[in-house]
Amino acid sequence: MSEKLTHLRDDGSAHMVDVSDKEVTKRVATAEAIFATRPEVIELLMSGNLPKGEALGTARVAGIMAAKRTWELIPLCHPLPISKVSIDFTAEDSTVRITAQVTTKGVTGVEMEALTAASVAALTLYDMVKAVDKHAAVRSVQVISKSGGKSGDWVRED
């Protein structure tokens, strides 16, 4: 691991990393967020019967839109030509696992875009269920895997 942080200059000030000499490769990142609520709310959510309407489609579109705008939200991120964003929902007893996968062909990875997509999709679910469960929560946002680029492939092992 490098001793020097790439987003800091020698004087300690933050800057955007120059990626102009990096090789263009296909890059894919997958991230997840966990949305927690009561089992009866999960049932309403998955059946599309929430008072605010069908939440999964709304959250999917919100996540896709967020991935495309990550560079506007995270100060040192580069604008990327995103090729694909997928958002999937897996219901469990009292949680929904939101999985976001982002693909690009570019010079830098899409981990931040995948994290942003999963996070915003989870926040959208919260907005859609808060009328029926004020105790709902967004938990454990993390990168699950990434591929492409100089550092190669990586998969979370826990």
| Centroid of chain to Cα 138 | 13
Q: Is the pLDDT of residue 117 over 90?
A: yes
Q: Is the pLDDT of residue 27 over 60?
A: yes
CATH code of the domain containing 38 = 3.30.70.640
Q: Within a domain: residue 6?
A: no
Check residue 8 and give its pLDDT.
65
Q: How many domains does the chain have?
A: 1
Q: Is the pLDDT of residue 34 over 70?
A: yes
Q: Within a domain: residue 84?
A: yes
Check residue 1 and give its pLDDT.
46
Average pLDDT of the chain to the nearest whole number? 92
Q: Is the pLDDT of residue 49 over 70?
A: yes
Confidence of residue 149 (pLDDT cuts 50, 70, 90): confident
Q: Please give the residue range of the domain that contains residue 46.
A: 25-148
Q: Which of 88, 93, 127, 158 is catalytic?
A: 127
Backbone angles phi, psi at 151, to 5 degrees: -80, -5
Check residue 3 and give its pLDDT.
64
Q: Within a domain: residue 103?
A: yes
18 is known as an active-site residue: no
> Per the structure block, which two tokens stand in for 41?
């709310």
